[in-house]
Amino acid sequence: MMALFKNIASKYRYSWVILKELVKTDFQLRYQGSFLGIAWSVLKPLMLFCVMYVVFVHFLKFSDGTPTYPLVLLLGISLWNFFTEATTMGLNGITGRGDLLRKVNFPKYIIVVSATVGSLISLAINMCVVLIFCILSGTVHFTWRVVLLPLNFLELYLLALGCALLLATLNVYFRDIQHIWEVAMQAFFYATPIIYPLSMIIDQLGPDAGSLICKIMLLSPPAQTIQDIRHNLIAPDTTPTVWNLVEHWWFQIIPIALTIIILSFGIYVFRKYSKKFAEVL
């Protein structure tokens, strides 16, 4: 048994060293030359939150009327920024490392993983800020559901990784994919309850049609995961999720099944075509 663990450790030691160096280098280069440096990983979502809060909450009245909604909005923006950044950075990871691929022989998936891990570090910093706001606000009462958060974050990361692997592969052969994905992310953003609560849809369309639309929206893995994190961390009583909107278990697990399918398909496609990356680039 010990020999088996040693063989596994020696096999992946080289990959682990490269992964650490790539993550470190990418994170340092991301804010190189800027005056505030790493502080921008916190300031960007906070500034975006301020703009959206003023426009959508104060002027357009996109709110569920609860005192925790500003925190729910901030958390949603931070989570969506992670998903956007991880998939976008992963998409451009292989094409941006063409010279490295031709010079050094190493597992190519490390490039995409390093891009998503860098975004994960930014998310961890943002989550610290969200937690500070939650504690200082005095409106958030943490429950036992916080123990489910690691599973929620793991699901969101695996979804982002699966998308990044698939997009990175497509981008090597079809460079237009980065422009298509940029437009698609804009559409997904407005189709996901980030800046507006699901209760607003029910109020606008009525209980029957509104509930049906909400259930369809929560079939999207990003929407389901973001709502789950909001529910388990900040507002379990006022945040609708697929678990409390739908009674059928087979309907509830659809977003999780889609996440597993996307991750598996992304790994399959990447492994199949990664051998020719250096030649194509």
Each residue's pLDDT expressed in tens, for the chain with a length of 281 residues:
454 445 545 556 767 777 777 787 777 666 666 665 667 677 777 888 888 888 877 777 788 778 888 899 989 999 999 999 999 999 988 887 767 777 767 778 888 998 899 889 889 988 988 898 888 888 888 889 999 999 999 999 999 999 999 999 999 888 889 899 999 999 999 889 998 888 888 888 888 888 889 889 999 999 999 999 999 999 888 888 888 888 888 888 999 999 999 999 999 999 988 887 767 66
Contact indicator for 45, 130 with CB cutoff of 8 Å = no
How far, rounded to the nearest angstrom, does the alpha carbon of residue 214 sit from its chain's CA centroid?
A: 20
56 C-beta neighbours (distance < 10 Å), count? 16
- At position 159, the amino acid (one-letter code) is L
State the Cα–Cα distance between residues 182 and 89, nearest whole angstrom: 12
What is the three-state SS of 110-132?
A: HHHHHHHHHHHHHHHHHHHHHHH
Token pair of 281 as six digits: 């680039």
- Around Cβ 257, how many Cβ atoms within 10 Å? 11
